[in-house]
Amino acid sequence: QVQLVESGGGLVQAGGSLRLSCAASGLTFSSYAMGWFRQAPGKEREFVAAISWSAGRTNYEDSVKGRFTISRDNAKNTVYLQMNSLKPEDTAVYYCAAATGLFGIATIEYDYWGQGTPVTVSS
């Protein structure tokens, strides 16, 4: 049974930082591209960042480029999202996801999802 468990969310002031983690089990982690998505209240789930299985390639949504960094540790079956210079508009529930194919920006390209961790950025 595949499980993706996110952690590290919370309440932070604007300009602050958080580091999200996603621990994977039940799959060959190093064979999967990994992505982070977020969903704000009343909005659709949107792409944030993705990383290839080897960590050789990354992709970011334009609004987080230069502020967020995705990384992975295949020995620990964990993917991370370092979020710096947080803004109130980053407030959302953040989800990690695993994809067997090439990493992409559409939710349909991902096979497995975590339950999410909430991030609230106060102004």
Give how far the C-alpha of residue 102 lies from the chain's centroid of Cα atoms, to the nearest Å: 16
Q: Please tell me the predicted confidence (pLDDT) of residue 101.
A: 78
Indicate the average pLDDT of the chain: 96
Q: Please tell me the predicted confidence (pLDDT) of residue 60.
A: 97
Place of tokens 């799959």: 27
Q: Please tell me the predicted confidence (pLDDT) of residue 71.
A: 97
Hey, CA dihedral for 64, 67, 73, 79, is it positive or negative?
Answer: negative
The encoded tokens of residue 103 equal 């990493």
Determine what percent of the chain is predicted with pLDDT higher than 70: 100
pLDDT digit string (tens) for 70-94?
Answer: 999 999 999 999 999 999 999 999 9
Residue 32 clears pLDDT 80, i.e. is over it: yes
